[in-house]
Chains A and B, each alone.
Chain A
């Protein structure tokens, strides 16, 4: 039971990182990416390869993952600078679909559908540790960085771009640089989560990095509340405890639990958008105007 709860908590911390970093792009910068799982995956593969080929050090793996995801976030930043709104969602969808094909075909790096197995667990300076404290530490650092960044001039610039891009540009803000940086920060964070995920599961394959995963992460941010520090964490905890909670309901046949869970979160997304577009934590008055 303890092992089950620790596992759930570790996954919870990892998904909190994913939701919190996606929130930087969606909630603060207004970049509606549905390709977050791509960078989660890139980080996972990078972290796994570092642990397998070099040394199984958690810090090194996370660093490598953040670098790989951060640099490749250019693939997402490029369309973000060219188009916005529906067009950008379409571009990120395209990126997501291409990445899944690439992940399952680049067998030398990713192991294809079979994935990478036997990834060593996390170690800090040669000492074996459990994932939970490392993940919680990473989450704390990322949350602190987000809070500080969003209160800084950079964060204000981002929010100005989100609310009125032309106005921000007219005031001499470097829109392109701010957007690219926000995307890089969000994607590097997703990479860190990926490295932690790889070390925690000790196995990764393409199934964890599909469009469904991206949508799940997006749903966490939306249901919790975009543009708030705690909203995404609330969303992540709710959506992750949903399958665990449904497993205890006796009247749902076990084969249909997955589908029932999907129906519930699909319904939650739709109803929330109709009645409370700012999310559970979000400020309702702000949501009405532009959420």
Chain B
């Protein structure tokens, strides 16, 4: 029964990983920017939700504020950091270092103003009940799974049915042709950052309700999103989301074989193996070398 418990826990964590990974993959796929500060959007969204709920706001207002903060952060970092760098043909490493710097600043500012250590939002949703003998499940589980399914469905519809979504996919495939057709790649990149960053907010809120937040959590989120994007295959949202789910399950299930402190190492072992043996990922087109 321990195995089933761990599996369910893994699914819940994996659903949240899938959301953040889909956001990262959307941004990386459309704009080719390795958005290393993606985790910072998560941290900011999570703490916004935490503060608003401590201030007594109803959850939907707090949720809206949290989505807003994440979106604004995504737009801001593109406008003030990535765009100036890309203007002077910055290489990927320039972008990476700049994003890493932003991540460090956000982590420490949050640590200074919100305090260090774990903090969580207490809701009746996260109270576990026994559903099977020795298997405990909180309602948050269904919320996490349902929310990620709905959001992923909406995202897929947006990318395949809506004009802007189709344009985003075109930006990924051929930015020059896109510009030749009179579409603005800057506006579309902003859109990608806004949508991709907004996707982390629900994951951040649910994490705040379940395992809690700390100021360094963005780091972990960023590493997992990056790992999932690469394992899933760059350019494939489906792959990233699936790999995120898989990493969450692998981390949890590994706990029945090894100790807790190895959980994160399991994710990186998977990533390392993929990079060496199949750098194009599960669904990717071979393009790494």
Q: Which residues of A contact B (CB under 8 A)?
A: 26, 32, 78-79, 82-87, 89-91, 93-95, 97-98, 101-102, 104-105, 211, 215, 218-219, 222, 256, 259-260, 262-263, 265-271, 273-274, 277, 288-291
Contacts and interface: CB of A to CB of B under 8 A. Distances in A.
A91 B262 contact: no
B90 A97 contact: no
Interface string B227-265: 100100000000000000000000000000000011011
A-B CB proximity, top 5 nearest: A266-B104, A269-B101, A270-B101, A273-B98, A94-B268
B91 interface: yes
B272 A270 contact: no
Interface of B: 34, 81, 84-85, 88-105, 107-109, 111-112, 219, 223, 226-227, 230, 261-262, 264-265, 268-269, 271-272, 275-276, 279, 288-289
B209 to A, nearest CB: 26
Contacts of A95: 268, 272
A263 B94 contact: no
A97 B92 CA distance: 22
A95 B95 CA distance: 21
Nearest to B95: A273
B288 A90 contact: no
Contacts of B230: 87, 90
Q: Is the interface of B mostly helix, strand, loop or mixed?
A: helix
Given A84-B289, A104-B261, A270 B275 contact: no
Contact of B227 (A94, A102, A222): A94
Contact of A270 (B102, B109, B219, B265): B102
Contacts of A26: 93
A273 B288 contact: no
13 contacts: A82-B276, A82-B288, A89-B93, A90-B275, A94-B269, A104-B261, A215-B100, A259-B111, A262-B108, A270-B81, A273-B94, A274-B84, A277-B94
Contacts of A215: 100, 104
A79 B276 contact: yes
A94 B96 contact: no
Most chain A CB atoms below 10 A, which of B95, B97, B279: B97
Contacts of B88: 277, 288
Contact of B268 (A97, A270, A290): A97
Given A83-B279, A215-B104, A266-B101, 6 more contacts: A87-B230, A90-B271, A94-B268, A259-B112, A263-B108, A270-B81
A82 B101 contact: no
A107 B102 CA distance: 35
A266 B264 contact: no
Contacts of A82: 275-276, 279, 288-289
Contact of B97 (A90, A91, A102, A273): A273
Given A83-B279, A94-B275, A95-B272, A289 B104 contact: no
Contacts of A265: 101, 104
A124 B85 CA distance: 49
A124 to B, nearest CB: 39
Contacts of B84: 274
Contact of B288 (A83, A97, A268, A270): A83
Contact of B102 (A98, A101, A104, A266): A266
A89 B227 CA distance: 11
Nearest to B111: A259
Contact of A94 (B100, B272, B279): B272
A279 to B, nearest CB: 10
Given A90-B230, A93-B226, A270-B105, A222 B97 contact: yes
